[in-house]
Structure 1
Amino acid sequence: MGDVRDSGLRPFRESGYEILDEGLVTLGEVVIWSIDPLTPRLGDLFLVESQGRTHEVSVHELTTFRGGWSAKCRLLGMSLTGG
């Protein structure tokens, strides 16, 4: 099965986001990618819900590609809500 980004299929609406949170607990990082034309900047903050908690993350690395962007974000402190 091909990569979702390569196949043209999108799990969200056209301007949506995909959040890859496998490294949240172990590395304190998430990757957010989108085809939204509004590209974040280094240091921008996002709230990410994962594993029943809300986490505040900051953009640490940013990559742009034709039609979108990908941001590696680092966890800031503890989760904001318990679960």
Structure 2
Amino acid sequence: MAASATVTIRLDAEVSEKLGRIARETGRSRSRLAAQAVAVFVDRELQVVDGIRRGLADMKAGRVVPHEEVMAEGRAIIAAAKDRQNRRRG
């Protein structure tokens, strides 16, 4: 089993009660549920941070697409989808 660390957190009463309810109804401990929730949050936040860092590196290296070009492509995709939808209807 991997090493673990103890962390103390403060929850508002409503969240604490909901966590307790889940623990009671699933037979898992509040601690285990909280650890799982923190693990999911940490993984998601690290993905966000890594994505921002990659984006900043792309900007710095000049790997960018002008806003108007992106918008024009988006409008073309939407128009094509609407056209397909209209052909199917009529």
Give the structure-1-normalised TM-score.
0.20
Q: Compare the two structures and name the one with the higher helix fraction.
A: 2
Q: Compare the two structures and name the one with the higher strand fraction.
A: 1
**Higher relative contact order at CA 8 Å, sep ≥6: structure 1 or structure 2?**
1
Bigger radius of gyration, 1 or 2?
Answer: 2
